[in-house]
């Protein structure tokens, strides 16, 4: 079955040298377990996506899911909306992710027209769309590339379209940041990760996942052209924003 998932044990043994985190076969094999145990509120964010789509998506409009990984957002939409309600393109640069997402859609929702493209979201040629999902992906782009992408996305959205931006964040205040990171590590421990796993993954993500502050995310959305953005979800150092294009 294409959604078979293993328990994430990638950082459970001591490594001489921790390699940079990458979305390779090893991560793909345990990704559903990894993201569920590592991202506070991941399930709730997925659950809200289809409710937001029901309110904001014009019937038949297109949805882009950027950095779709295994297509969890697409599956959430397909589970809640009929096939003719929307079109969907998931894009991911990782060949292993894209291949597995493609197969998952064929297995799980063959009646919905779900496309997956193995491509770079920075250079992809977007068609007009009603909703763009960027869930935990912008944080993996070099910061210098983020504004240009958001501007392109704003320009491709149809009037009345929405962008959902979910990210890990950092606090500008050092004490607040330390508190939030410590409680995040408590969250991971409570989900079965050891101190060694937490520490080795932290090293692997250094200079790979570069978080912005919540204020910087709103500022980027404003710079891109969005007249309005809101933080609709926050749980420790993970957040989700919605940005609206004027209708
Ligand atoms: C944390 S995962 C996203 C999780 C996913 N959105 C979900 O909700 O399950 C980040 C994904 O972004 C992809 N990615 C990173 N940089 C990318 C780029 N420049 N273009 C396309 N995909 C990219 C990675 O391959 C990875 O699958
Ligand atoms: O484990 C962490 O520290 C995380 O930041 C979680 C996180 C993410 O936010 O994208 C990092 C890598 C994996 O893609 C899954 C989740």
Q: Which domains does the chain have, with CATH numbers?
A: 42-170+208-244 (3.40.50.150)
pLDDT at site 1: 37
Residue 102: per-residue pLDDT:
98
The 3-class SS string of 86-151 reads EEEEEEECCHHHHHHHHHHHHHHCCCCCEEEEECCCCCCCCCCEEEEEEECCHHHCCHHHHHHHHH
On the question of pLDDT at 15 being above 80, the answer is: yes
Residue 174: pLDDT band by 50, 70, 90 thresholds? very high
**Ligand 2 pocket, Cβ-based, cut-off 6 angstroms:** 34-35, 38-39, 136, 168, 201, 205, 209
ipTM of the modeled complex: 0.98
| Nearest CA-CA partner of 204 in 32, 33, 38, 40 | 38
Ligand with an atom nearest the CA of residue 96:
1
Above 70 in pLDDT, residue 166?
Answer: yes
Mean pLDDT of the residues in the chain: 97
How does residue 4 score in pLDDT terms, banded at 50, 70 and 90? low
Please give the structure tokens belonging to residue 48.
């809200």
Phi, psi of 237 (to 5 degrees): -95, 30
Residue among 140, 150, 152 whose CB has most ligand 1 atoms within 8 A, to mutate:
140
42: helix, strand or coil: helix
Residue 3: predicted pLDDT: 47
Predicted TM-score of the model (pTM): 0.97
Give the pLDDT confidence of 145-164 residue by residue, as tens digits: 999 999 999 999 999 999 99
């Amino acid at each position: 079955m294409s959604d078979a998932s293993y328990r994430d044990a990638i950082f459970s043994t001591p490594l001489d040298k921790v390699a940079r985190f990458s979305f390779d076969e090893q991560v793909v094999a345990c990704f559903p377990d990894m993201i569920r145990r590592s991202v506070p509120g991941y399930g709730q964010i997925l659950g809200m996506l289809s409710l937001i789509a029901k309110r904001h998506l014009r019937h038949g409009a297109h949805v882009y899911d950027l950095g779709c990984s295994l297509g969890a957002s697409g599956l959430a939409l397909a589970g809640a909306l009929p096939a003719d309600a929307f079109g969907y393109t998931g894009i991911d640069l990782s060949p292993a992710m894209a291949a597995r997402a493609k197969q998952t859609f064929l297995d799980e929702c063959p009646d919905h027209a779900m496309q997956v493209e193995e491509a770079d979201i920075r250079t992809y040629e977007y068609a007009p769309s009603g909703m763009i999902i960027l869930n935990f992906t912008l944080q993996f782009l070099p910061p210098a590339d983020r504004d240009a992408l958001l501007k392109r996305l704003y320009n491709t959205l149809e009037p009345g379209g929405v962008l959902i931006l979910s990210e890990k964040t950092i606090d500008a205040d050092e004490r607040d940041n330390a508190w939030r990171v410590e409680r995040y590590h408590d969250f991971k421990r409570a989900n079965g990760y050891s101190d060694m796993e937490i520490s080795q993954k932290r090293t692997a993500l250094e200079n790979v996942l570069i978080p912005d502050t919540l204020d910087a995310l709103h500022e980027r959305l404003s710079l891109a052209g969005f007249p309005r953005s809101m933080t609709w979800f926050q749980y420790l150092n993970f957040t989700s924003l919605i940005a609206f294009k004027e209708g």
